Structure 1
Amino acid sequence: MRTKTCGGLAGAALLAAGIAGPAAAADADDNAYLEGIVIGTYQATGESHIDGQKIDDEANGELYLFGALDMGPGAWNLEVRAATTPADHGVSSFYGSNASVGETTDGDGDGRIAVTQLFYELPMGLGDLRAGLLDPTAVLDGNDVANTEYTQFLAGAFVNNPTIGFPSFVLGGAYQGNTPGHLGYKLFVGSDSGLQAEDDPTYHNVFAVGGHRGGYRKGVFTGAELDWHADGYTAQAGVWYDTGEVAPLGRTDGGENGYGLYALAGTPLAAGRLEGRAGIANEDAQAAANFLSLAYELPLRFANRDTTLGVAVARTGDSGRLAFDSDPIYRAEAYWRINVAGSFYVSPDLQYINNAGFEAGRDDVLIGGTRVGYEFY
C-alpha cells in the first residue's frame, strides 16, 4: 500500500470523526446522522496471462461514509469514499469482477480519499429535489437485489446496467416524485464528465462543465425513469441521452451521442426476491449495445446466523462496430454473505466470465474471492 493511500484513509477517518462529532451532538434533535461501511476484498483466478499480460491476484480496501444534516427547509448530504491503490495488473482490470476497485483514483491511478457527493435536498411538491455534486447511479437504475458492490454482487455488470453511459460524480440536479397510487418518477440532469473521467479525474474537471472530453465538447447527461410498485412487485422503465459527443466506433469522422432505453422488474420468489434488468444503447457510441440479467437473493438462517445467498447471470451484447472479432460477454456470479457478529460479515464470492472485454478469443475463466465488511450507523 502506498503512502499516499495510507494518508487518504487516515484523512477519511478524521473526516468521519469530524462528521460524527456534530452528528452526535445533534442526535437529541434528530437532525443529523452518519452511516458507513468498511470492506476488504481479495480475488484470484487460475489464469496467469491474458493477451500477453500477466494477471495478478488482487486485494482491495474501501471506506464509505454518508452523512446528512438538516438545515433550513431541507438537508445537506455528504458522501465520502476512500480506497487503496488498484493493482497494476489486477484481476478486476481485465474482467470487471470488482466494482469497488478504482472507484476513487487520481490521475496517477493511485487510491485516494474523495468527496463523491455533496448536495442539498429539498422537499418540493410530492417529491424531493437534489442539487450539487451527485452520483447519477444513486438516482437511476436501482433495485433491492443487485445495486451495491459493498454487500451484494461484486461484478460491475450486476451493480448497474452497462448499457447506460453513466458519468461519475458530476454537478447536476435530480428530482424524485410520486403520483397518487403506485407510480413514481425520477429525473436527472447533469454534466457528462465527472470526478472519475478517464482523461481528467480531478475536481477541476467536475467544475469545468463547459470544457472538453476526449477531444469533443462536454455535454449534458439526462435521464428519466418511471417506477411502479405494488405488493412487492416492481417495474421500472427509463431513457437516457448524452448531448456531448464521443468518437464513433468503426469510423474516424464526426461524432456520436450516447443514448438508450432500459428496464427493470422485480418479484418475490419463494423466500427470496428475483430482479431482472435489460437495456439497449446506441452501438455507434459504445461497445455495450444491449444487456440482459437476472439476479436472485435469498435470506437463509444457517448455524444460528443470518446469511444471504445471491446468484446472478448476465449477457452483455457487443456493438457491431467494434474493430476486432467480438462476441457477447457471458457472466455469472454467486456470493454467500454470512453475518459473523453484529454488522461484521464475511462473503465468499465465485464468478464465471466468458469473452471478457468482448474479445471472442478469450477463454472462459473462474474467479474466486472473498469480501469482509463492517457496517456502522
Structure 2
Amino acid sequence: MANVRKVLVQIGLCIVFLQPYKIFGFEQPQAATAAATKNSEIQLGLTSSFQGTNKAGVSSEALYSLDLELEHHFDDFGLFLWLEHSSDPKVNGVSVNFENANSDAGTTSGKVRDGRTTGRSQFSAFYLFGDADALGEPGWQLGLMEVSTLIDSSQVANDETSQFLSAGLVNNGTIAFPDYALSGRLQNLNAFDNLGYRLVLSSAAGIAENDGNYADLFSLKPGSKGVFAAAELVHSGYSHQAGLGYWKNSADDVQAYGVYLSLDYLSAYGDINMRYGQASSLLDSALEPDAAWPSQFFSLSFETKINTGALNPGVLGYGMSFTRFDGAHQDINREWEVYYRLPLYKNIYLTPSIQRRNLVAEDKASQNYWLPTIRLEMYL
C-alpha cells in the first residue's frame, strides 16, 4: 500500500506543478501558445501500474515511469529530446520473476542491486530527424534512439504504455535489439509507390549494455562493441502495412541474425497484427555452454474500439505469442494478454489487464500463472 500511495502522490504533484493554468483557471497568453505550437511540442507522460500474480512467494509491485518529450522543428529538420525516469523494481517482485511481463518496468539503467537494475533518471533519446513524408514518417534520424522503435513497427501492438504490457506483444521476440543506442535510420515508405524501405545501423552496445555509463556509450572503438544492422521492405496500403526484414547483431555476447515479418490489417470491426521471426546464433556452444536464444517466434494481436458514451471510445485488446528457444534451454514460452483501455477524462486512461504466462520451474516442468494488472496513464 505504501507503494500505491507513493504513485498517487506522484500523480498529484505532476498535476499541481505542471498544470497551474488549468487548475486555477488562468489563461495562457495566446501569442506564446501559438509560437510554441508552431515550432515546439512538449509532452509529459506518467504511467503507473500495480501488478500481481498467483505464484507463491512472488510479491505484487507498484511501479511508475515518467516521460518528458520535447520536439523542436527548424526549417529543414527537427530535434527530439526524451528524458525518462522509472522507479525501482522490487527485489522479489513480479517483473523480476516474470521476465518481460511488464515492458514498462526498469526501462532506465541504474545500478544493479540484488540481481535487478534499479531505476533512475536518464536521457533516453536525443536525435535529429528530417522532414516527414506523406505517411508522417521522418526520412532520416541520427543520434541516441530507442532501437526497437526503428523497425518492426505496428499500430496495433508496439506500445507498452497504451497497448500490451507483455514484451512478446510489443516487438518480435527473435530480434536482438540493443538498448537506447547511437543509431541512424534512413527510410522512404513511398520509394516505389506503395513499396518502401527502412535501413538501420546502430551500435550494439546501448545504455544498458554499458551499465548506464554515457561515457562508454559515446566511446567508439571499432570492433570493440559490435553493431546492430537491419534492412526492411515495407508495403503500405489503405488498410494494411506489411514489413519483411533482415537483422544482425555482432556484439560478442550475442552474435545472432535473423529474418522477420510483420503485418497490420485495419478494418471497421477491429485491427489485427501478426508477427513471425526466425533467428540463428553464431555463438560457440563449447565456449558458451549456458547460452540460449530465441530461434522462432509467432504472435497474433487484435484490438477493437468500444463506445463508452460521452468519452472517447475504449479499446479492447487480445494477444498471444509463442517463442521457441534453442541452445542450453530448449523450450517454448507461451504468453496471452487481454486488456481494456478506458478513457477517464481527456488524457487520462485506466487499463485493467490480465496475462497468462508459462514459466519453466526448477524441475523443467512448465507451469502456468496469472498476472492481473491495473495501469494508469496521464498525459499533460
Corresponding residue for residue 183 of structure 1: 195
CA distance in structure 1 between the aligned counterparts of 2:91 and 2:268, rounded to whole angstroms: 43
* Other-structure match for 2:39: 31
Relative distance call for 1:124 and 1:277 in structure 2 (3 A) is: closer
Offset of 1:125 from its aligned partner?
9.9
SS at match of 1:196: coil
**Is 1:204–2:230 an aligned residue pair?**
no
Cα pair distance change 1:270/1:172, threshold 3 Å = closer
Given that residues 101 and 167 in structure 2 are in contact (C-alpha distance below 8 angstroms), is that contact kept between their aligned partners in structure 1?
yes
What is the match of residue 81 of structure 2? 78
Q: What is the rounded CA distance, in whole Å, between the counterparts of 2:216 and 2:256 in structure 1?
A: 20
Q: Does 1:173 align with 2:180?
A: no
Distance apart, 1:92 and its partner CA: 1.6
Distance between the aligned counterparts of 2:43 and 2:363, measured in 1? Answer: 40
Residue 292 of structure 1 aligns to which amino acid in structure 2? Answer: F
- Is residue 245 from structure 1 mapped to residue 252 from structure 2 by the alignment? yes
SS at match of 1:237: strand
- The answer to whether 1:226 aligns with 2:233 is yes
Judging changes above 3 Å, is the alpha-carbon distance between structure 1 residues 309 and 356 closer, same or farther for their aligned structure 2 residues? farther
TM-score normalized with structure 2 length: 0.82
Q: CA deviation at 1:356?
A: 5.1
1:334 match: secondary structure: strand
Give the counterpart letter for 2:49 in structure 1.
T
Aligned to 2:350: 346
Q: How many Å apart are 1:144 and its aligned residue? A: 0.4
- Alpha-carbon distance between aligned partners in 2 of 1:359 and 1:78, rounded to the nearest angstrom: 47
In structure 1, C-alpha distance between the alignment counterparts of 2:236 and 2:147, rounded to whole Å = 21
C-alpha contact 1:162 1:291 (8 A) present in aligned 2: yes
Is 1:111 aligned with 2:115?
no
| 1:293 matches 2:299 | yes
**Shift, 1:106, TM fit:** 0.8
- Superposed counterparts of 1:269-308, under 5 Å: 269=267, 271-285=269-283, 286-305=292-311, 306-308=313-315
Secondary structure of the corresponding residue to residue 128 of structure 2: strand
Q: Counterpart of 2:255 in 1: which secondary structure?
A: strand
Provide, for residues 152-194 of structure 1, a one-character-per-residue CA deviation record: whole Å limited to 9, x for no partner: 0011111111211100111121112131411221111111011
Counterpart-to-counterpart distance in 2, 1:311 and 1:225? 27
Residue 39 of structure 1 contacts residue 373 of structure 1 at CA under 8 Å; is this kept in 2? yes
Structure 1 residues 352 and 69 mapped into 2: Cα distance closer, same or farther (>3 Å)?
Answer: same
Q: Over residues 256-304 of structure 1, what are the superposed CA-to-partner deviations in whole Å (9 max), with x where a residue is unaligned?
A: 6211111101213551101001111114555211100000011001354
2:255–2:281 CA contact under 8 A, matched in 1:
no
Residue 249 of structure 1: aligned partner: none
Structure 2 residue aligned with 1:195: 207
Structure 1, residues 199-220: CA drift from partner, whole Å, max 9, x if none? 62221231123289xxxx3111
Shift of 1:100: 0.4
Amino acid corresponding to residue 52 of structure 2 in structure 1: A
Task: Answer whether contact 1:107 1:202 (CA < 8 A) is retained.
Answer: no
Q: Is residue 2:188 matched to residue 1:158? A: no
Partner of 2:153: 142
- Judged with a 3 Å threshold, the aligned counterparts in structure 2 of structure 1 residues 222 and 310 are, in CA distance, closer, same or farther, namely same
Instruction: Quote the Cα distance in structure 2 between the aligned partners of 1:299 and 1:70.
Output: 33
Decide whether aligned partners of structure 1 residues 26 and 268 sit closer, same or farther in structure 2, where only a CA change above 3 A counts. Answer: closer
Question: Which stretch has the larger CA shift, 186-195 or 122-131?
Answer: 122-131
Quick one: structure 1 residues 113 and 155, their matched pair in 2 at CA, closer, same or farther if it must change by over 3 Å?
same
Structure 2, unaligned runs of 5 or more: 19-27, 284-291
Distance 1:211 1:366, change over 3 A: farther
Alpha-carbon separation, structure 2, partners of 1:31 and 1:359:
59
- In 1, Cα distance between the equivalents of 2:49 and 2:96? 14
Tell me the distance in 2 between the aligned counterparts of 1:233 and 1:327. Answer: 33
**Does the 8 A contact of 2:68 with 2:83 survive in 1?**
yes
Aligned length: 342
Q: Secondary structure at the match of 1:141?
A: coil
* Amino acid corresponding to residue 38 of structure 1 in structure 2: L
In 1: Cα distance, 2:268 partner to 2:132 partner = 38
Establish whether residue 58 from structure 1 lines up as the match of residue 64 from structure 2: no
Mean Cα displacement is larger for which, 29-38 or 83-92? 29-38
Measured in 2, the distance between the counterparts of 1:139 and 1:337 equals 25
Structure 1 vs Structure 2 CA RMSD:
2.9
CA contact (8 A) 2:180 2:206 kept: yes
Q: TM-score, normalised by structure 1?
A: 0.83
